[in-house]
Amino acid sequence: MEVKVTSSTILTSPISHASDVPLTIFDRFALNLHVAILFAFTPPTSTNTDIISGLSNILVNFPTLTANFSTNSHGRPCLTVGGSDGGVLVVEATVSSKLEDHLPLTPSPDFRLLHPEVNDAKHLLQVQLNRFQCGGLVIGITSHHRVADGQSMGSFIVAWGKMVRGIPVDPLPVYDQKWLKPRDPPLVQFDHLGTEFIPLSPQPNEFKATPVYADPSEITNMLLHYTPEFIMRLKAHTNKLNTEKQTTFETLTGYIWRKVTIARQLDDEEGTMLIVGVNGRRRLQPPVPSEFFGNLVLHAYPKTKARALIEGGVVMAAEIVREAVRATGNDYFRSFIDLAEVYRDSDLVACHEKRGNVLSPNLEVNSWLGLGLDVVDFGGGGKLCGISMTWEHYEGLSILIPSLSPDGDVDVFVSLFEKDAMRFREISHSLD
């Protein structure tokens, strides 16, 4: 793939006076990295000028995306909005090939050319507009996870598209953080130190984290497609043995977990754990508005032994996922909020920062279902024809992505060692 950058510019912050926005406990827990995603559109599309103008205008409603990381007068991490080092990087590029030559958007190392570099990126939001020979467009977006979670970024991208098309942006993002108020007195009911954050003074047996690193060349990415018919068959298989129906997320997540465990050929008694993102907006009571912009996600950690997972089938796997996710409810989120009050000035380090780039025997599953990504529209008359990750060197990551079929298909991104991926492909659509 030949990609030629034709221009690069910085959209400055819409805020004229610099102000500091403290990072919340959820921001500090979020991954300290940029997340990259691609959106492909068939021609005709809106012009680059119109898309960039829409971005500039919508940033008035999403000012934290133009911020930069800093520390406030108390030495605590924060976002500085309106500072001279902020803004959004916008790159324009041309691609010598036709878009159709790259469809479907199956993850490829070449796709990293379609968005700005994420390592040591200066700007928290980066955009690259890639014009293909045929007139097709791929918009590569990278955003820093400590500014916003998946739901927030989905809302932003949908709103950006509305702005380009001249459609009123409604609802607008919400920044009110009254839900972050701790209880009086604060009550930390769960072991967040050792689960979300590394204990401040761990005892020898209290926290063990040995990062595992692998050569990126040993890790491959794949995108699997699951039809509504296949998902219905999975659900029928699980629901007939349960009084309560399993969701698509629970069923498909349990299914992928079990199949990956088989492909990895783990020892029978080896433990395997899922790391599953749980959105706190619907968990907290009273609920936080879905329009809240920022981070409000924790993890659930379903776990079992490899043999039990394999022999229990997808029924057992889905049930373990369900129970762990449901246990991460209002009490857990409130306890986490109170943790911020108890350790207000402490230098908390998220446990996942000690993982390395290999999760095996564990698996992380995130869901992009329901984030609105499949309705992103930048105008011009063309169609959204692809949503994809680019290429990950992180073994054990899986993401559920909405397919663009109106029937409810789901695409599943999976990153595994090549040797495990070969076995996984062979069994990825088997109901056994």
pLDDT digits (tens, 9 = 90+) for 352-376: 998 899 999 999 999 999 999 999 9
Does residue 128 lie in a domain region? yes
Distance of CA 173 to the CA centre of its chain: 19
Report how far residue 103's alpha carbon sits from residue 166's, in angstroms, rounded to the nearest whole number. 29
One domain for residues 100 and 249: no
Q: Per the structure block, which two tokens stand in for 201?
A: 């003074």
CB 367 within 8 A of CB 399: yes
Under a CB-based contact definition with an 8 Å cutoff, are residues 118 and 22 in contact? no
Of 64, 59, 296, 282, which Cα lies nearest the Cα of 157?
59
Number of domains in the chain: 2
Question: Can you read off the two tokens belonging to residue 234?
Answer: 């999975």
Residue pLDDT, tens place only, 189-221: 999 999 999 988 776 666 667 899 999 999 999
Q: Does residue 34 contact residue 121 with C-beta atoms inside 8 Å?
A: yes
60 CA to centre of own chain: 24
Residue 35: strand, helix, or coil = strand
The radius of gyration of the chain's CA atoms, rounded to the nearest angstrom, is: 22
Of 154, 178, 202, the residue at which a domain comes to its end is 178
Mean pLDDT computed over every residue of the chain: 94
pTM: 0.95
- Backbone phi and psi for residue 62, each to the nearest 5 degrees, phi listed first: -130, 60
Q: Which two tokens stand for residue 174?
A: 């919400």
Please indicate, yes or no, if residue 406 is contained in any of the structural domains. yes
Residues belonging to the active site: 145, 377
Give, in order, the Cα–Cα distances in Å from 132 to each of 4, 108, 252. 11, 17, 35
What confidence score (pLDDT) does residue 406 get? 80
Are 295 and 166 contained in the same domain?
no
Residue 413 has what DSSP assignment? E
The boundaries of the domain holding residue 84 are 3-178
Backbone angles phi, psi at 411, to 5 degrees: -100, 140
CB 46 within 8 A of CB 379: yes
For 179, the 3-state DSSP assignment is helix
Mean pLDDT of 409-426: 97
Task: Report the pLDDT value the prediction gives residue 204, as an integer from 0 to 100.
Answer: 65
Question: What pLDDT sits at residue 305?
Answer: 98
The CATH number of residue 417's host domain is 3.30.559.10
Same domain, 361 and 277: yes
Token digits of residue 415: 């990153």
Question: Does 75 reside within a domain?
Answer: yes
Closest-CA residue to 394 (of 346, 362, 429): 362
Residue 154 shares a structural domain with residue 240:
no
> Listing from the earlier edge strand, what are the strands of the sheet with 384-388?
3-11, 88-95, 125-132, 137-144, 34-41, 384-388
- Please report whether residue 204 resides in a domain: no
Residues 250-257 have a mean pLDDT of 96
Amino acid identity, residue 118? V
Q: Looking at the predicted structure, is the pLDDT value of residue 147 above 70?
A: yes
Q: What is the mean pLDDT of residues 91-110?
A: 95
Where is 70: in which H helix or E strand?
Answer: strand 68-71
Query: If you average pLDDT over residues 377-386, what whole number do you get?
Result: 96
Distance CA 280, CA 112 (A): 31
At residue 17 the predicted structure's pLDDT band, cuts being 50, 70 and 90, is confident
Task: Point out the domain boundary residue: 178, 201, 226.
Answer: 178
Neighbours of 2 (CB within 10 A): 9
Q: Flag whether 205 is in a domain.
A: no
Answer with the one of 129, 152, 178 that is the final residue of a domain.
178
The DSSP bridge partners found for residue 320 are none
Q: State residue 345's pLDDT score.
A: 76
Residue 243 has pLDDT above 60, yes or no: no
DSSP state of 311: H
Check whether residue 32 and residue 86 sit in a common domain: yes
Per-residue CA distances from 414 to 95, 107, 115, 261 (Å): 27, 10, 20, 13
The rounded distance, in Å, linking the Cα atoms of 301 and 273 is: 6
Residue 71 host element (H or E): strand 68-71
Q: Does some domain include residue 308?
A: yes
Question: Is 240 among the domain residues?
Answer: yes
- Chain centroid to Cα 36, Å, comes to 9
The pLDDT tens digits of the residues spanning 293-326 come to 999 999 999 999 999 999 999 999 999 999 999 9
Q: What is the largest CA-CA distance in the chain?
A: 62
CA-CA distance, 233 to 230, in Å (whole number)? 5
